[in-house]
Amino acid sequence: MKSPSTPESSESVDRVIHEVDGIQEYDNKLPNWWLYTLYGAIAFAACYWYWFETARLGASPVEAYQAEMDRAAADQAMALTVGDATPEALAALAKDPNATALGKQVFVSTCAACHRADGGGSVGPNLTDEFWLHGSAPERIYRTIASGVPDKGMPAWQPQLGALKTQAVTAYVLGLVGTNVSGGKAPQGEREPISAR
Ligand code: HEC
């Protein structure tokens, strides 16, 4: 039904489908650009679903993130070279952002279960205070981490992590020493202040 009283062109107005308080709503054709956008979105969603959920041809965001982190860790490892774990070499590594970044990754994934992510300690001792069971000198800390204290529940890490990651995580632990995070485990062992090293 055309409505001759409307000022709009009669081609776009098929019929009034709704009228409330003198306001008339027409059943206009949706613009093509709008429809194509809708159809395009539907087609995209179907392809996306097939690609990522059904056929699993592409990496999900989580997998892509993990792959990127692995690549970054590999790059960091490449930028480092393994030398002997002398006190000087360990002190230098503790200042190398590549080493401490790699060490932090190792710490969070491997050590945090027993020493807490911030080093405050739970099963294992607090690594952020000034008290040490096995010595606070860099080479002592390295030896504890590399060879472990197997009969006390601290695994030997060098065989599992390799020399590079063991040195990197030592470098990271050296940076934790003396940070005294709050809520950390009560001191264990002898007091060995940093200044005494
Ligand atoms: C399964 C639990 C566990 C894991 C995982 C673990 N540790 Fe330990 N760690 C311990 C325990 C328990 C001790 C205390 C050993 C003792 O009583 O002699 C310890 C001691 C240490 C010490 C010596 C602390 C001191 O007071 O002398 C350092 C350093 C250390 N761990 C670093 C690490 C690092 C780095 C990692 C990861 C590569 C790690 N630990 C992973 C349980 C763990």
Q: Could you tell me the distance, in angstroms and rounded to a whole number, from the CA of residue 124 to the centre of ligand 1?
A: 5
Whole-angstrom CA distances from 155 to 12, 66, 114, 158 are 79, 26, 11, 9
Q: Are 102 and 109 within 8 A, CB to CB?
A: no
- Higher pLDDT, residue 197 or 90: 90
Task: Tell the residue nearest (CA) to atom 40 of ligand 1.
Answer: 111
Q: How confident is the model at residue 25 (pLDDT cuts 50, 70, 90)?
A: confident
Atom of ligand 1 minimally distant from the CA of 107: 37
**Averaged pLDDT of the chain:** 87
**In order of start, what are the domains of the chain with their CATH numbers?**
1-58 (no CATH), 73-196 (1.10.760.10)
pLDDT in tens, 56-68: 888 888 889 999 9
Q: Which of 114, 164, 166, 185 to mutate to test the pocket of ligand 1 (most atoms within 8 A of CB)?
A: 114
Burial of 194 (0-12, 13-18, 19+ CB in 10 A): exposed
How big is the CA angle at 145 (ends 139 and 146), to the nearest 5 degrees? Answer: 85
Ligand 1 neighbourhood includes 112 CB (under 6 angstroms): no
Query: What amino acid occupies position 162?
Result: G
Of the residues 107, 115, 160, 188, which should be mutated to test ligand 1's pocket, given the most ligand atoms within 8 Å of the CB?
115
The mean pLDDT of 11-31, rounded to a whole number, is 79
pTM for the whole structure: 0.68
pLDDT at 194 over 80: no
* pLDDT beyond 60 at 8: no
134 in contact with ligand 1, CB cutoff 6 A: yes
User: Alpha-carbon distance 105 to 73, whole Å?
Assistant: 8
How far apart, in whole angstroms, are the C-alpha atoms of residue 46 and residue 58? Answer: 14
H-only helix segments in 49-192:
61-78, 87-94, 97-106, 112-115, 138-147, 158-176
Does pLDDT of 138 surpass 90?
A: yes
Give the model confidence (pLDDT) of 142-160 as tens digits: 999 999 999 999 999 999 9
Task: Take atom 2 of ligand 1 and give the residue whose Cα is closest.
Answer: 114
> How far from 138 is each of 33, 71, 93, 167, CA to CA, in Å?
68, 29, 11, 10
Residue 153's φ and ψ, nearest 5 degrees, are 95, 5
Cβ of 169 less than 6 Å from ligand 1: yes
> pLDDT per residue over 97-124, tens digit each?
999 999 999 999 999 999 999 999 999 9
Q: Locate the ligand 1 atom nearest the alpha carbon of residue 134 and give its number.
A: 27
pLDDT at residue number 130: 92
Does residue 102 line the site of ligand 1, with CB under 6 A? no
The share of the chain scoring above pLDDT 90, in percent, equals 63
Confidence of residue 81 (pLDDT cuts 50, 70, 90): confident
Q: Which helix (H) or strand (E) holds 191?
A: strand 190-191
Compute, in angstroms, the gap from residue 127 CA to the centroid of ligand 1: 9
Instruction: Quote the pLDDT of residue 13.
Output: 52
Closest residue by Cα to atom 3, ligand 1, is: 114
- Answer whether 141's CB lies under 8 Å from 172's CB: no
pLDDT, residue 26, reads 85
Are the C-beta atoms of 68 and 152 separated by less than 8 Å? no
